Structure 1
Amino acid sequence: MSGAWGTSHASGTQARFAVYYAPSYASAWWQAGCAWLGRDAQTGDDCVRPQPPGLTRPLAALTDAPRRYGWHGTLVAPFSPGADIRQDDVLDAVRAWALTQQRFALPVEAATLGDFVALRPADAHGDARMREVAASALQALDTLRARPSAADVARRLAAPLSERQRALLLEWGYPYVFDEFRFHMTLSNSLADAAERTTLLAWWRQRTPELGPLAIDQAALFVEPAPGEPFMLWQRLPFRGEACRE
């Protein structure tokens, strides 16, 4: 299934691509996440947000950063394609990789990750399975990406990174891969106010059991059409096997 960003876009633009996990379009998880962020990244439509009780600010003020990226969990972080790589090359490679992956159900929980609120795997087994999926995607698709510029590398190296993360950045273009990867679906901006984090966390801890496990049954190819623009879900690419329960 394709989204609002169409195949008519020419290669050689400033578009960046990302390989994300996104719940299926018809699922309650997709509807809940898009409503929370106020935007459906597949259609480009705005969504009516909930307003968790106890917030002193509108939810929009607490979620504008993840709203730009759309409802997702990262598998391969945004990258610019190499000079000779067309958008159809990206699509074909991600489709082929997705067909090597087996579907499974992932129990999740809401948690605070530093100053953020996010969904994450509910146990170590789920965390390890998602790390395997992301590592497989990164290795399979590495030849698609342009190598980062010296300025991009310097910018990232200026952040507080461990020696391991610095080494991963230099080799793979991103510091949070392989053993440093932690699957999550971001639910908030970085929030200094602990009370706001607690309020958002309480809302999602009540909602998550109703929604059940995530069905890890597809990858989603997202596109940032130009620097700073909202990411759009371009193509959904199914994993192999029988549909798993959501």
Structure 2
Amino acid sequence: MSRYAVYAIPGVDEGAEAEAIRLRDAVEAWYRRDELQELTIDARRYGFHATLVAPIRLADGRTEAQLRTAADVFAAARPPLVIPGVRPATIGHFRALVPQGDHEGGEYEGGDHEALHALAAAAVQEFDDFRAPLDESDIRRRRPERFTPRQRELFERWGYPYVLDEFRFHLTLTDPVPPERADEIDSALEEHFAAIVGIDVPLTAIAISVEPTPGAPFELLSVHPFADRSALETA
């Protein structure tokens, strides 16, 4: 059965700005590096993205077409956002790009961070009706015994532990990095992303990606642009 995810993917839409395209190109070039293939297996399978709604199976009575229509409505009600000052960071054992001002534990500084957090929170809540209940294999795969009490509460309610106050906006770059390769990978990240560190990246759309069969690479299904800011102001 297919799974669907709602992602923030800078540079994916036709109206994407140059900074977003630069970022996407840099990440995709990172994924292609020969010496990193064994450390980007899952990152490449899921594709360049920041998660808004983690992969779900559709609830009974819900269809892919309905999900795409809901994404159109969701995006059309919101203005473009900015991912401020992107930079590489360590999250747990893997590496990702995060906004400048991001802190471990989900603390945010400034309106741009709050807007990204609000976008993710709204997506989790508004698309929840499309989510089928977790089955036993889903629960075992997530290993909920590792969660904090708050993460367990979120997992049981929303099907994913890293949402709402546990959310941290990030664009994944690697799978878990072995300690013995940490210095090598961090140096490679610094060199590879030197030209884009600190830039503000416009986010002008959300996207739906699909895993057509279990374990298959996720594929871009549809792109849903945010409204033009001036159109919202005059509505």
TM-score (norm 1): 0.80
Q: Residue 207 of structure 1: CA displacement?
A: 2.7
Residues of 2 paired with 1:157 and 1:188: CA distance?
20
Give the conservation status (yes or no) of the 8 Å contact 2:30–2:192.
no
Q: Residue 36 of structure 1: CA displacement?
A: 1.8
Residues of 2 paired with 1:152 and 1:24: CA distance?
31
1:19 partnered with 2:13 = no
Could you say which residue in structure 2 is the equivalent of 1:221? 208
CA RMSD of aligned residues (A): 1.9
- Which deviations, in whole Å up to 9, do the C-alpha atoms of 1:68-124 show, x marking residues without a partner? 011111011000001111110111111111112211222111111122111011122
Deviates more, 1:217-226 or 1:24-33: 24-33
Residues of 1 paired with 2:168 and 2:113: CA distance?
7
Q: 1:231 to 1:149 in 2, by over 3 A?
A: same
Aligned length: 212
**Pairwise mapping of residues 92-241 of structure 1 onto structure 2 (< 5 A)?**
92-107=69-84, 108-123=86-101, 124-125=109-110, 126-192=112-178, 193-209=181-197, 212-241=199-228
Give the conservation status (yes or no) of the 8 Å contact 1:157–1:166.
no
- Which deviations, in whole Å up to 9, do the C-alpha atoms of 1:10-56 show, x marking residues without a partner? xxxx1110000112246222222222223xxxxxxxxxx4x7xxxxx
Could you say which residue in structure 2 is the equivalent of 1:30? 24
- Greater fraction of residues in helix: 2
Structure 1 gaps of 5+ residues are 1-13, 39-48, 52-57
- Which deviations, in whole Å up to 9, do the C-alpha atoms of 1:176-223 show, x marking residues without a partner? 00000001001111111222332233124513238x222111001100
Q: Residue 137 of structure 1: CA displacement?
A: 0.7
Q: Residue 173 of structure 1: CA displacement?
A: 0.6
Identity %, equivalent residues: 36
Q: 1:194 to 1:77 in 2, by over 3 A?
A: same
SS at match of 1:206: coil
Equivalent AA in structure 1 for residue 170 of structure 2:
H
SS at match of 1:221: strand
